[in-house]
Amino acid sequence: MQLKTKVPFFSLQEQSTALKAEVLSAIEKVIEQSDYVLGKDLVQFEKSFASYCESAYALAVSNGTAAIYVALRALNIKEGDEVILPSATFSATALAICQLGATPVFCDIDARTWTIDPADIEKKISNKTKAIIAVHLYGNPCRMDALLELAEKYKIELIEDAAQAHGSSFNKQKVGSFGSMACFSFYPSKNLGSMGDAGAVVYNNPNYTEFLAAIRNCGKNFKGEHEFLGFNYRMTSFQAAVLNVKLPHLDSWNKRRQEIASFYKNNINNPKIEWQESHDSAVSVYHLFVVKADSREKLMAYLEEEGIGYSLHYKEAVHQQAAYKDLVLSTASLPITEDLFSRCVSLPLFPEMTLEQCQRVVEVINAY
């Protein structure tokens, strides 16, 4: 009997090996400079990443969750304020809101694109609403035209959670450049990942710089004074040095992700399997390739048997998780979100996948 090709859900091994020499020499340079925190590499990364996002500024922080927290603080979101977000996201989006004592107000998603539904946002805006967080889920940009219109109409802030969408665009404009703030994570498995934890806030208004820098650094402002409470959200220079090596590769990695996603869409022809569509003006960078199956349990057991790796993003929507249950304002359900999170399975997708591995995934899915 011929052995079946096994396909891992995800692997960083090939990328790490290919970049190892370059990363080691970048880290060696940091050691020679000995500027381990808020050093030269960090300043350089902030410049290059802002410019990559077609934005004026980037402030590097310790992780993506911290990025959302400092962005909300800079926009003066506080206890009693409401922040609108999709429940179809990683829980960190809601966590940062709760850390501030503000209230997360969960919205449903669009049935085709699986990103926040502008019509549902409009129903949930109240006189306490201070901001909307647009999550570009699985790398697929939200309807930024509609969201900008809502923010303008109701005079509320628009924040992007672009932790899964480094390099994706809407109307030929890069994500990260639309709202008052955009938040990125460089967790190792993201489209642009460090070798540890890291994150950034990207923005255009220079008035935010001093406040953001202070929040990141225990509240210490440019004069060395502490006017308010910050925290330690600093990114280390080693992570910045790794990111400086990796950023020039991001576009080619994203292109590979797009090619693999196209290959799946062009070749999977099983009516039991549905996938995320992009809006006509949106270009996704496919952080993940998530499908909706007729039965998640059946598909998972089958993939297991065939040696195809998979994962769940996520097992539950945020409003269904125990930690957030008491915080849910509305008793109304979020039917499209709940349907997605009861049936979603993430298939293998990473830039270093071989054609043989992609073909094997298609073959297995079509035979399901």
**Contacts with ligand PLP, residue ranges (CB under 6 A):** 63-65, 89-90, 92-93, 135, 161, 163-164, 185, 187, 197, 199
CB 110 within 8 A of CB 134: no
Buried/exposed 89-122: b ≥16 CB within 10 Å, e otherwise: bbbbbbbbbeebebbbbbbbbbeebbbbbbebbe
In angstroms, give the least distance from the CB of 354 to ligand PLP.
Answer: 26
Q: Parallel, antiparallel, or unpaired: how do β-strands 181-185 and 199-203 relate?
A: antiparallel
Nearer to ligand PLP, 89 or 169 (CB): 89
In angstroms, give the least distance from the CB of 197 to ligand PLP.
Answer: 6
Q: State the burial class of residue 168 (Cβ atoms within 10 Å of its Cβ: 0-12, 13-18, 19+).
A: buried
In angstroms, give the least distance from the CB of 247 to ligand PLP.
Answer: 17
Residue nearest to ligand PLP (CB): 64
Q: What region, left, alpha or beta, does residue 218 occupy, with left being phi > 0 and alpha being psi -120 to 50 degrees?
A: left
Nearer to ligand PLP, 55 or 63 (CB): 63
Nearer to ligand PLP, 10 or 263 (CB): 10
Question: Could you give the CA distance from residue 356 to residue 366 in angstroms, rounded to a whole number?
Answer: 15
In angstroms, give the least distance from the CB of 198 to ligand PLP.
Answer: 7
Of residues 302, 317, 311, the one with CA closest to residue 349: 311
Q: How many CB atoms lie within 10 A of CB 270?
A: 14
In angstroms, give the least distance from the CB of 62 to ligand PLP.
Answer: 8
CA angle 252, 257, 263 (to 5 degrees): 125
In angstroms, give the least distance from the CB of 96 to ligand PLP.
Answer: 8
Distance of CA 175 to the CA centre of its chain: 11
Q: Looking at 19-81, which runs of residues are DSSP E strands?
A: 57-61
In angstroms, give the least distance from the CB of 293 to ligand PLP.
Answer: 22
Nearer to ligand PLP, 97 or 291 (CB): 97
Nearer to ligand PLP, 46 or 197 (CB): 197
Backbone phi, then psi, for 323, in 5-degree steps?
-60, -25
